[in-house]
Amino acid sequence: MITSLGFNKPTEIQKQTIPAALEGTDVIGKAITGSGKTLAYGIPIVEKAISTGNWETQDTPTGIIFAPTRELASQVSKHLQQLIKYSSLPANSIVTLTGGLSIQKQERLLRYNPRIIIATPGRFLELIEKSTDTATKFASTDIVVFDEADRLLQDGHFEELDKILELLNNYRPKEKLQSKKWQSLVFSATFSKDLFGKLDSTKPKPETKNNKKRKASEVEESGDAETAEVLQLLGKKLRFRAKPSFIDVNPTDVVADKVIEAMIPCGNQERDLMLYYFVTLYPGSTLVFTNSIDSVKRLAPTLTNLGVPTVSLHSSMVQKQRLRALERFQKNCETAAKQHKSSVLIASDVAARGLDLPNINHVIHYHLPRSADTYIHRSGRTARAGKQGVSLILCSPQEASGALRKLRKIVTKNEEVDDLKQLTLDTDILDQLKERLDIAAKLAKSEINSQHLNKEESWVQKAAEELGIEDLDDLQEDDFLKRDRKRKEGMKITKNNSKAMRAELKQLLSRPIRKSGRRSYIASGLNNIAKLLIQNENTDNIVGYLQQDALSVLKSTKSKKRKTSKD
Ligand SMILES: Nc1ncnc2c1ncn2[C@@H]1O[C@H](COP(=O)(O)OP(=O)(O)OP(=O)(O)O)[C@@H](O)[C@H]1O
Please write the tens of the pLDDT for every residue from 120-133.
Answer: 999 999 999 999 99
pLDDT in the model for residue 211:
38
65 sits in which H/E element:
strand 63-66
pLDDT in the model for residue 451:
77
Each residue's pLDDT tens digit, 183-193 = 999 999 988 77
Mutation choice for ligand 1 from 9, 37, 373, CB with most ligand atoms inside 8 A: 37
pLDDT in the model for residue 492:
67
Position in ligand 1 atom list of the atom nearest CA 377: 26
Mutation choice for ligand 1 from 46, 384, 391, CB with most ligand atoms inside 8 A: 384
Alpha-carbon gap, residue 357 to 327, rounded angstroms = 10
Each residue's pLDDT tens digit, 305-325 = 999 999 999 999 998 899 999
* Nearest residue by C-alpha to atom 25 in ligand 1: 33
Mutation choice for ligand 1 from 2, 3, 7, CB with most ligand atoms inside 8 A: 7
Distance 107 CA to ligand 1 centre (A): 30
Backbone phi, then psi, for 465, in 5-degree steps? -60, -45
* Nearest residue by C-alpha to atom 14 in ligand 1: 34
- Complex ipTM, two decimals? 0.99
pLDDT in the model for residue 468:
66
The answer to whether the CB of 236 falls within 8 A of the CB of 162 is no
pLDDT in the model for residue 240:
85
Alpha-carbon gap, residue 156 to 34, rounded angstroms = 26
Question: Quick one: what percent of the chain has pLDDT higher than 70?
Answer: 78
What one-character-per-residue DSSP string does 414-453 give?
TSEEEPPEE----HHHHHHHHHHHHHHHHHHHHHHHHHHH
What one-character-per-residue DSSP string does 324-378 give?
HHHHHHHHHHHHHHHTT-EEEEEE-GGGSSS---TT--EEEESS--SBHHHHHHH
Distance 366 CA to ligand 1 centre (A): 26
Distance 8 CA to ligand 1 centre (A): 13
pLDDT class of 212 with cuts at 50, 70, 90? very low
Each residue's pLDDT tens digit, 333-354 = 999 999 889 999 999 999 999 8
pLDDT class of 205 with cuts at 50, 70, 90? very low
pLDDT in the model for residue 216:
52
Position in ligand 1 atom list of the atom nearest CA 31: 21
Residues lining ligand 1, judged by CB closer than 6 Å?
A: 2, 7, 10-11, 14, 31, 33-39, 189, 354, 356, 380, 384-385
Alpha-carbon gap, residue 440 to 253, rounded angstroms = 41
pLDDT in the model for residue 494:
79
Distance 498 CA to ligand 1 centre (A): 46
How much is the mean pLDDT over the chain?
83
Between 390 and 512, name the one with better pLDDT. Answer: 390
Position in ligand 1 atom list of the atom nearest CA 358: 29
**What integer is the mean pLDDT of 532-561?**
71
Mutation choice for ligand 1 from 356, 363, 379, CB with most ligand atoms inside 8 A: 356
Amino acid identity, residue 194? D
Cut 0.95: pTM above it:
no
Any idea what DSSP says for residue 564? P
Distance 325 CA to ligand 1 centre (A): 22
Distance 78 CA to ligand 1 centre (A): 13
What's the per-residue H, E or C state across 6-55?
CCCCCCHHHHHHHHHHHCCCCEEEECCCCCCHHHHHHHHHHHHHHHCCCH
Burial of 369 (C-beta count, 10 Å sphere; 0-12/13-18/19+)? buried
Distance 221 CA to ligand 1 centre (A): 31
Q: Is the pLDDT of residue 298 over 70?
A: yes
Angle at Cα 336 formed by Cα 34 and Cα 316, nearest 5°? 65
pLDDT in the model for residue 567:
41
pLDDT in the model for residue 207:
40
pLDDT in the model for residue 412:
81
Distance 35 CA to ligand 1 centre (A): 5
Of the given ranges (72-81, 247-256, 470-479), which has the lowest mean pLDDT? 470-479
Measuring CA to CA, how many Å separate 529 from each of 49, 518, 537?
64, 11, 9
* Nearest residue by C-alpha to atom 23 in ligand 1: 34
Name 53's Cβ contacts closer than 8 Å, sequence gap at least 6.
none
* Nearest residue by C-alpha to atom 16 in ligand 1: 36
* Nearest residue by C-alpha to atom 5 in ligand 1: 385
Distance 525 CA to ligand 1 centre (A): 39
Position in ligand 1 atom list of the atom nearest CA 5: 31
Q: Is the pLDDT of residue 267 over 50?
A: yes
* Nearest residue by C-alpha to atom 12 in ligand 1: 385
Distance 59 CA to ligand 1 centre (A): 30
Q: Is the pLDDT of residue 436 over 90?
A: yes
Position in ligand 1 atom list of the atom nearest CA 354: 27
Distance 16 CA to ligand 1 centre (A): 15
The size of the chain, in residues, is: 567
Between 397 and 185, name the one with better pLDDT. Answer: 185
Distance 301 CA to ligand 1 centre (A): 32
Q: What number of CA atoms fall less than 13 Å from residue 342's CA on the CB side?
A: 31
Nearest Cα neighbor of 83 from 167, 171, 18 is 18
What one-character-per-residue DSSP string does 446-482 give?
HHHHHHHHHHHHHHHHHHHHHHT---GGGGG--HHHH
Between 107 and 516, name the one with better pLDDT. Answer: 107
Position in ligand 1 atom list of the atom nearest CA 72: 27
pLDDT in the model for residue 463:
64
Name 111's Cβ contacts closer than 8 Å, sequence gap at least 6.
none
Position in ligand 1 atom list of the atom nearest CA 10: 1
pLDDT class of 218 with cuts at 50, 70, 90? low
Distance 38 CA to ligand 1 centre (A): 7
Between 492 and 321, name the one with better pLDDT. Answer: 321
Each residue's pLDDT tens digit, 8-62 = 899 999 999 999 999 999 999 999 999 999 999 999 999 999 988 665 667 889 9
Distance 401 CA to ligand 1 centre (A): 35
